[in-house]
Amino acid sequence: MATGVLGSDPDLTLDVEKTLRSRRTKVGILAIGAGVLFCFGLVVGAVPLSLPAIVTGTASEFELVVFESIRAPRVILAGFVGAALGIAGAALQGLFRNPLADPGLIGVSAGAALGAISMIVLGEQLNLPEWIEPYAIPLAAITGALLVTGFLYGFASAFGHFSIVTLLLVGIAINALSTVGIGAFEYLSDDRQLRSLVFWMMGSFGRAQWTTLIPAMMVMGLSIGFLVSQARSLDLLQLGEADAEFLGVNTARLKRIVVIGTAFGVGSAVALSGIIGFVGLVVPHLVRLMIGPGHVHLLPGAAFLGAGLMIAADMVARIIIVPAEIPVSLVTSAFGAPFFLWLIARVRPV
Amino acid sequence: MSRPIGLDAEGVCFSHGAVSILNEVNGSFAPGTVTALIGPNGAGKSTLLRVLAGELKPSAGCVRMNGQSLDTLSSQELALKRSVMSQSSRIVFDFLVEEVLRMGWLGSRQGLKQGLENVIVACEIEPLLGRTFNTLSGGEQQRIQFARALLQIRSDNATHDPNYLLLDEPTSNLDVAHELAVLRLAREVISDQVGVVVVLHDLNLASRFADQLMLLKNGQVQALGAPEEVLDSELLSQVYATPLRVERHNELNRLMIYS
């Protein structure tokens, strides 16, 4: 319906297209970076490995065992967890229109942690069939995350309007309640359980194994796909809920998808590696600085950067005190917490 | 064309709890015309606009767009038929001006470039391109939001049904020159089978740019018709509870309202 109000200048939108092309390139660079770090992660560690030797079959049997059952699942897990947490943070920040939002904020991580911890402490008494045992903790964590988000959604929509402020406030209350539950389980647990529980709370990829990794990879992959598919709607939501609706976005459906997608991604991440702080907060912010706020590029960018940074953080955790290792969350929090303070100082009051 | 056209409010009531905000509002907003909603603060102008937009559901009565009740249209269908410029809203993240503009485009990828160029030229916002929306002044942001709403109307070329442009105080932050420019553009789009409904506070602007005025007070229509019929010294003084005088300015050949 070109009305040709005035003459048009053909060069006018050229810059816009150039900007968008360069953003695509930057996402590509992040993907390549994640790939390079992935290869580094595979070879660096207490037992140094050589990729060419493994590919050509000249590696020793010991090296092959280390690669197949320790190194590879660990690095893959780190990559997937980083991607899932990064993209979940980006999607939640978009949903809340608040750069300080984080999967931990609305209680999803705490809910998942409570589910997993209750299984660690009470699992032995349940007499679960043997085949289900490796999946018991992940399933309990996802259930915890879903219960929290389901409750959040039900509670908030009971008031007719699913407002973002309501969601945040209820999230704070849920976090507090989960802390109570976690504390109670800590009190109930014996010394051995407590050790495992504390180590798990600090986050680590040390216990990665294929039986739990493969289903978790599928769940996290689906979560990432669902969230990426909402990129344009999340962009429009930045204009405000009413304005997004005026542009044809079904905001109720968008919120549902983001909340459920985040619950599955964060739930399975927490189940396999414990609580790893600040990745969901820091990664999206870095991608916004590097690429821009548009979700079409931000969401995949956050997945790639999250994966790369998590693999790097895990490498640091593994090699800093060889042959022992520190929990990866110590690494992410050591960098993330000061960043968080800087962010609070920088963000204009909403 | 057998389908009825126009945007019609039929006995629209809206209440917030026990408080009645709109009471039995009837009115027809035809394509090819500009209607200004006027009235004192709290008269229900913005609420009526939001009901016409489909954001708020009337507690009684209904709104029909080209013969179809708004209830029966999905938000996607509505988005193609009408665009809304709300009162200024904040964007948290640092989107570029052109990114905000593009959010208004609902049509095909191929049409985007031409559509974008047309509104950028028409709204004279080329100097603002490349800047972050957040760093613009309130007035500049308002001009971008207006351009975005315009782009949304232009992105529908699938049907020949009329479209509607709903503007809630689009000029509240603008200087005189830009105020006139925005309202001139609003008049220009009606030639494309677009109906414009605009909430305005400035009665002189309303009388100058609108074909039809709807005067509201306490959620009730006090008068509906051409500016010459609605702008009456006695009626306005009573509705606004302040002495107002309406005179025809011979040189400019339009009605002027003096307080």
A290-349 residue pLDDT tens: 999 999 999 999 999 999 999 999 999 998 887 888 888 889 989 888 887 887 777 654
Task: Report the 3 state secondary structure along B199-243.
Answer: ECCCHHHHHHHCCEEEEEECCEEEEEECHHHHCCHHHHHHHHCCC
Tell me the average pLDDT across A65-87: 95
How far does the CA of residue A269 sit from the closest CA of chain B (Å)? Answer: 27
Q: Report helix, strand or coil for B22.
A: strand
Name the residue with higher pLDDT: A311 or A209. Answer: A311
pLDDT digits (tens, 9 = 90+) for B127-184: 999 899 999 999 999 999 999 999 999 887 666 788 999 999 999 999 999 999 999 9
pLDDT given at position A2: 39
Mean pLDDT, chain B, whole residue set: 93
The proportion of chain A whose per-residue pLDDT surpasses 90, expressed as a percent, equals 40
A8 closest CB neighbour out of B75, B121, B130: B121
Q: Which residues contact B114 (CB under 8 A, 6 or more apart)?
A: A2, A8
Q: Inter-chain contact A242–B93, Cβ cutoff 8 Å?
A: no
The closest alpha carbon to B117, from A16, A147, A205, A305, belongs to: A16
A350 confidence band (pLDDT: 50, 70, 90): very low
The pairing of beta strand B82-85 with beta strand B212-217: unpaired
Handedness of CA A252, A255, A261, A266 (dihedral sign): negative
Higher pLDDT, A150 or B228: B228
Q: pLDDT at position A3, please?
A: 40
Helix (H, G, I), strand (E, B) or coil at B106: coil
The residues with which B224 forms a beta bridge, in sequence order, are B214
Helix, strand or coil, per DSSP, at residue B27: strand
Residue B147 to residue A6: CA distance in whole angstroms:
15
Phi then psi for residue A221, to 5 deg, are: -60, -45
How high is the pLDDT of residue B159? 65
Does the beta-carbon distance from A1 to B116 stay under 8 Å?
no
Residues linked to residue B221 through DSSP beta bridges, in sequence order: B216
**Residue given tokens 């809203």 in the structure block:** B89
Q: What is the mean pLDDT of residues A76-96?
A: 94
Across chain B, which distance is largest between two alpha carbons, in Å? 55
pLDDT digits (tens, 9 = 90+) for B45-104: 999 999 999 999 999 999 999 999 999 999 999 999 999 999 877 898 999 999 999 999
Separation between Cα atoms, residue A203 and residue A329, nearest integer Å = 5
Which of B75, B89, B164 is most worth mutating to test chain A (most A CB atoms within 10 A of its CB)? B75
d(CA B79, CA B25): 24
Give the model's confidence band at A202: pLDDT under 50 very low, under 70 low, under 90 confident, else very high. confident
For B243, phi then psi, to 5°, come to -65, 125
Residue type, B173: N
Q: Which amino acid is at B64?
A: R
- Whether the per-residue pLDDT at A6 is higher than 50: the answer is no
> In this structure, are residues A114 and A87 in contact, taking their beta carbons and an 8 Å threshold?
no
Q: Are B207 and B177 within 8 A, CB to CB?
A: no
**Distance between CA atoms of B220 and B12, rounded to whole angstroms?**
10
Q: Is the pLDDT of residue B192 over 90?
A: no
Share of chain A above pLDDT 70, in %: 90
Structure tokens at B146: 């207006």
A294 contacts on B by Cβ (under 8 Å): 95, 99
Place of tokens 């929306």: B133
Residue among B82, B92, B113 whose CB faces A98 most closely: B92
Quote the CA–CA distance of B68 and A235 in Å, as a whole number: 30
Say if CB B35 and CB B213 are below 8 A apart. Answer: yes
Q: What is the pLDDT of residue B138?
A: 93
Per-residue pLDDT at A347? 64
The number of angstroms, rounded, from the C-alpha of B209 to the middle of its chain's C-alpha atoms is 12
Residue keyed to tokens 């400035």:
B202
Share of chain B above pLDDT 70, in %: 98
Residue with tokens 């821009």: A292
Distance from the A156 Cα atom to the nearest Cα atom in chain B, whole angstroms: 19
Among B100, B103, B192, select the one facing A3 at the smallest CB separation: B192
Whole-number Å distance between alpha carbons of A34 and A311: 8
Q: Is the pLDDT of residue A45 over 80?
A: yes
pLDDT band for A1, please (50, 70, 90 cuts): very low
**Contact criterion met (CB below 8 Å) for B92 and A238:** yes
Nearest C-alpha in A relative to B149? A247
How buried is residue A11: exposed, middle or buried, by Cβ count under 10 Å (0-12/13-18/19+)? exposed
Per-residue pLDDT tens over the stretch B223-245 = 999 999 999 999 999 999 999 99
H-type helices in B124-226, by residue range? 138-154, 176-189, 203-209
The helix or strand, by DSSP H or E, that contains position A312, with its residue range, turns out to be helix A295-319
* Mean pLDDT to the nearest integer, B185-199: 94
Q: Categorize the per-residue pLDDT at B2 as very low, low, confident or very high, splitting at 50, 70 and 90.
A: low
Kindly report the backbone phi and psi dihedral angles of residue B124, in degrees, each rounded to the nearest multiple of 5, phi listed first.
55, 50
Determine whether the interchain pair A248/B84 forms a contact, defined as Cβ–Cβ distance below 8 Å: no
Would the CB atoms of A350 and B114 count as touching at under 8 Å? Answer: no
CA torsion through residues A248, A253, A254, A255, sign: positive
Q: Check residues A118 and A305 and name the one with the higher pLDDT.
A: A305
Distance CA B259, CA B244 (A): 5
Q: Least CB-CB distance to B118: which of A5, A16, A235?
A: A5
Are A246 and B188 an interchain contact pair (Cβ–Cβ within 8 Å)? no
What's the confidence (pLDDT) of residue A124?
79
Average pLDDT over residues A162-168: 61
Instruction: Extract the tokens encoding A81.
Output: 């967890």
pLDDT at A199: 67
What is the pLDDT at residue A132?
A: 80
Return d(Cα B223, Cα B162) in angstroms, integer. 25
Q: Quick count: other Cβ atoms within 10 Å of Cβ A27?
A: 22
| CB contacts < 8 A (A, B) | 112
